[in-house]
Amino acid sequence: MIVCKFGGTSVATADQIRKVVDIVTSDSNRKIVVVSAPGKRFSDDTKVTDLLIQLANKALANEDTEQALSAVVDRFRGISEELGLDGAIIEEIETDLRDRLAKDKVDTLLYMDRLKAAGEDNNAKMIAAYFQLLGMESHYVSPKEGGLLVSDRPERVRALPEGDERLAKLRDLPGIIVFPGFFGYTNDGTIRTFNRGGSDITGSIIAAATGAELYENFTDVDSVFAANPTVIENPVAIEKMTYREMRELAYAGFSVFHDEALIPAFLKSIPVCIKNTNNPSAPGTLIVKERDYNEQQVIGIAADSGFTTIYVDKYLMNLEIGFGRRLLQIFEEEEISYEHTPSGIDNLSIIIRTRYLPEEKEKKIVARIHQELEPDAVIVEHDYSMIVLVGEGMQYTTGLAARAASAIARTGCNIEMINQGSSEVSLVFGVKKNDETKILKELYKEFFVQSTVQL
Amino acid sequence: MIVCKFGGTSVATADQIRKVVDIVTSDSNRKIVVVSAPGKRFSDDTKVTDLLIQLANKALANEDTEQALSAVVDRFRGISEELGLDGAIIEEIETDLRDRLAKDKVDTLLYMDRLKAAGEDNNAKMIAAYFQLLGMESHYVSPKEGGLLVSDRPERVRALPEGDERLAKLRDLPGIIVFPGFFGYTNDGTIRTFNRGGSDITGSIIAAATGAELYENFTDVDSVFAANPTVIENPVAIEKMTYREMRELAYAGFSVFHDEALIPAFLKSIPVCIKNTNNPSAPGTLIVKERDYNEQQVIGIAADSGFTTIYVDKYLMNLEIGFGRRLLQIFEEEEISYEHTPSGIDNLSIIIRTRYLPEEKEKKIVARIHQELEPDAVIVEHDYSMIVLVGEGMQYTTGLAARAASAIARTGCNIEMINQGSSEVSLVFGVKKNDETKILKELYKEFFVQSTVQL
């Protein structure tokens, strides 16, 4: 049995939904279909979820909501009419939206969540109706009924394993199950959404709970590439990689698949396949637990700019038990999460994503370090990029670090930081932002262009 | 004005003390002489400090001390007779030792400190007497009188800056000042010793307090070498290096100069020269604040085995604010100091000196990590070596990391860890202990043998 999830662009128009139906019906193993809300039809278009946020904001500001409501209903109407559905589904969607709008506004987060979830929820109903129109048995199942239970923290919603037993029964329902992505219910029946892109998470939870043979994630790209196509012309496609490799690439800016969505699949070892709705015959990228790393030691190269380093130097630092812990505690108390903490003998650098470090926080943290730790020096550097070389072969292959460092040396750029730990699948280089593209190109040449020529 | 310190082997015999006198008198700037207790005369010999520890232990166990006392007095007598001093100095030394032995034993640490300090203290008196015998003005100054004030923590004695004003006056005293190393007094007059090798610290404190032009540290080697002479045949001598470079080399096993001894000199920018009592015309190694790193980018290579790594892996670790801090806190609470914490995206390794990690502590820490942090995996690896490439040129020179990694690749050995932070003067490679020597030799060849041939 296959769980397949279709993202926003895959369900943005009637034509796209017809492709979804073709894909689902072409393989009888495709049993559970998780859908996003209709996304963009063209680059300047507005996603239904964003229309719903505008609608909720108007309602919360007690402004007139009719126009904003029509914008949402019209998107669904356009699709449903083109699919040949009768007016009943649009009436049902409009009634549902008016119900949500009429709810109490005291808990604004809850009010917002309830409206945001309407995009996926109503889209799932509409797509189930379309399968039925085509003469297939198909059922919309709501997350409440299906058992998608989530934790009670509005800002950090996580799926609860208690729901798994009920979700597992989706497998036994007759026909094609259409399930809305993006939201679930707490134990007391309160609706909560995951963060943006959360439909990926819904699909992964269901695939894990039902013990699916495969979780297919349909997007609008043929595969995950070995490097960013906006920097490297025609990068090679990744055919197969491990969860860990995907995670490392995602960390450094590969945004094909939601970070958290990998967890449920990873925990139950469900293979994940990234595929293209617009080109379903392309093999896509398969994400699995293990692969033969001898075939391809390095799987991809990612780069992400926008890091800041805070370098702290104190003579005989490493004789002070607790120095590192106290330094990290300052960051924790200021609620700043950090990425890496490479250390020398008397120094420690904290590497942070600049967007998580507002200027006043930076000043406060530097002041606290001076006051509480009495270092010899604190140096802050902005415009730092991290280049991550990813591959399961990394830890077993002699000389990969040398090849990477030599490739960087050929560019004439300086390596500011190197980080490689034991048992790792990545090698991280800190470089100046200005050098990022040049280095990325040379590394790609070293690990992808040369090897295809030589082998 | 020069402060010079003579280590144990430099004052072990009458012949050696004659060399000390020759050195001191050959340059009238050599004004303050700090001395250790007499050290080993031959490889199986026992240092006076060790004889004193044996004596103190017998006294604390209420055993007969006469024989152990004689062993100490006889060492001094042998030297003083050969130097032609009269019997008065030996009487004075024996009386001093008997006074110390007769003190209260309730505070065993204090009792031990008092006896240990007798080696340096009496040696300083004897050497001052020898200068006088030769017709020179010379004075023994005790740390109490001189103002060497220390903190009150017996196990972690540190010099207090309050003493500096009095110490500065040593400069104005007439003649050659002979000052015992290794101990000082707290504000309430209690004697405390530094840890072993602490005479280096005494010399550095006095050099800093008096604003000496130079602090000469006389030992039994011509200079600091670029690599360990027991591994590399005839390594090149280091003529000049910075405090930071010395610190990094000392960290990884270069035991020429006491770690803490560099601090006072470093803070006041007093140049330190490591010289050989047995070959004083050799230029030695000069340690300064800055050097021209273009002349020699890499100054030395050190290696130290006996490390353990504890690798902790948890999916989405880097989204958990406080994970790193909580992990380090476990080590702090268990009083285990760590060396490095290289991190990947979902993993963190803690590198510890194995000798600081008893087996039961290791088990407890691993159990606590499992219980408190719920990681996916905790892997402990012993027999880890750290190879440190040191040089001020490191941070400015493109390609050094590539050359180092390529040299290691040539050995066929694997790099387990690489750590290089911003603004650093070192590059640290974690390797398997078995590979250490092979890698060290190849790195030496890369950075020292080739460059002397090519340039």
Q: Is A158 on the interface with B (CB under 8 A)?
A: no
Residues, chain A, total? 455
Cα–Cα distances (Å) from B306 to B295, B339, B352, B355, B430, in that order, read 33, 12, 9, 7, 11
- Over residues B32-54, the mean pLDDT reads 96
pLDDT of B349 strictly over 90: no
Give the residue from A161, A412, A390 showing the smallest Cα distance to A298: A390
Q: Which two tokens stand for residue A192?
A: 């909560």
pLDDT surpassing 80 at residue B319: no
CA dihedral A154, A157, A163, A166 (to 10 degrees): 90
Rg (CA), chain B: 25
Identify the residue whose tokens are 């609608």: A55
Beta bridge partners of A429: A387, A418
Task: Name which of B321, B414, B422 is nearest A416 (Cβ-Cβ).
Answer: B422
| Fold equal for B2-284 and B300-454 | no
Query: Is CATH 1.20.1050.10 the right assignment for the domain spanning B2-284?
Result: no
Residue A316 confidence (pLDDT): 75
Interface of B with A in 291-350 (CB under 8 A): 309, 311, 313, 315-316, 318-319, 321-322, 324-325, 328-329, 331-332, 335, 337-349
Phi/psi at A381 (nearest 5 deg)? -125, 125
Burial class (CB in 10 A: 0-12, 13-18, 19+), B280: middle
Residue ranges for chain A with pLDDT beneath 70: 155, 252-256, 318-319, 421-423, 450-455
Tell me if A59 sits within 8 A of A101, measured CB to CB. yes
Does A328 contact B324 at a Cβ distance shorter than 8 Å?
Answer: yes
Task: Please count the other Cβ atoms lying within 10 Å of the Cβ belonging to residue A375.
Answer: 20
Residue to substitute from A251, A339, A420, A442, interface B, most B β-carbons within 10 A:
A420
Percent of chain B with pLDDT over 70: 96
Contact B419 A419 (CB under 8 A): yes
The more confidently predicted of residues A422 and B346 is B346
* pLDDT reading at B234 higher than 60: yes
Q: Share the mean pLDDT of chain B.
A: 91
**Cβ–Cβ below 8 Å for A325 and B335:** no
Question: Chain B contact for A161, CB < 8 A?
Answer: no
Mean pLDDT value of segment B126-155: 93
Amino acid A455: pLDDT: 41
Separation between Cα atoms, residue B261 and residue B182, nearest integer Å: 11
Which residues in chain B are contacts of A324 at CB distance < 8 A? 328, 338, 341
Cβ separation A409–B424 shorter than 8 A: no
- Please check the confidence at residue B261 and state whether its pLDDT lies above 50: yes
Of A379, A320, A380, A314, residue with least CA distance to A346:
A314
Domain boundaries, chain B: 2-284, 300-454
**Alpha helices of B28-107 — where are they, by DSSP H?**
48-60, 66-83, 88-101
For A404, which residue in chain B has the nearest alpha carbon? B402
**Does residue A378 contact residue A311 with C-beta atoms inside 8 Å?**
yes
User: Distance between CA B57 and CA B115 in Å, rounded?
Assistant: 10
Average pLDDT over residues B421-429: 76
Of A324, A345, A430, the CB nearest to B422: A430
In three-state secondary structure terms, B274 is strand
Interface check B161 vs A, CB under 8 A? no
Q: Which residue of A has its CA nearest to B337?
A: A321
CA-nearest of A120, A104, A96 to A6 is A120
Judge whether residue B454 has pLDDT over 50: no
pLDDT, position B423? 59
Contact B325 A338 (CB under 8 A): no
CATH C-level class of A300-454: alpha beta
- Residue B342 vs residue B233, higher pLDDT: B233
Mutate: best of A304, A343, A431, partner B, most B CBs <10 A: A343
Which residue bears the tokens 């003390």? Answer: B17
DSSP A280-334: TTS--EEEES---TTT-S--EEEEEEEEEEEEEE-TTGGGSTTHHHHHHHHHHHT
pLDDT score recorded for residue B106: 94
CA distance B66 to B68: 6
| B340, B341, B408: residue with CB nearest A402 | B408
ipTM of the shown complex: 0.72
Backbone angles phi, psi at A273, to 5 degrees: -120, 125
A342 contacts in B (CB within 8 Å)?
A: 342-343, 419-421
% helix, strand, coil for chain B, step of 5: 45, 20, 35
How many whole angstroms separate alpha carbon A192 and alpha carbon A116? 10
Q: What is the pLDDT of residue A253?
A: 64
- Mean pLDDT, rounded, for B340-346: 78
Task: Identify the H or E element spanning A98.
Answer: helix A88-101
Superfamily name with CATH number, domain A2-288: Acetylglutamate kinase-like (3.40.1160.10)
DSSP letter for B343, please: B
Other Cβ atoms less than 10 A from the Cβ of A144: the count is: 13
CA distance linking residue A341 with residue B342, whole number of Å: 7
Chain A residues with CB under 8 Å of B319 CB are 259, 337
Residue A452, pLDDT score: 46
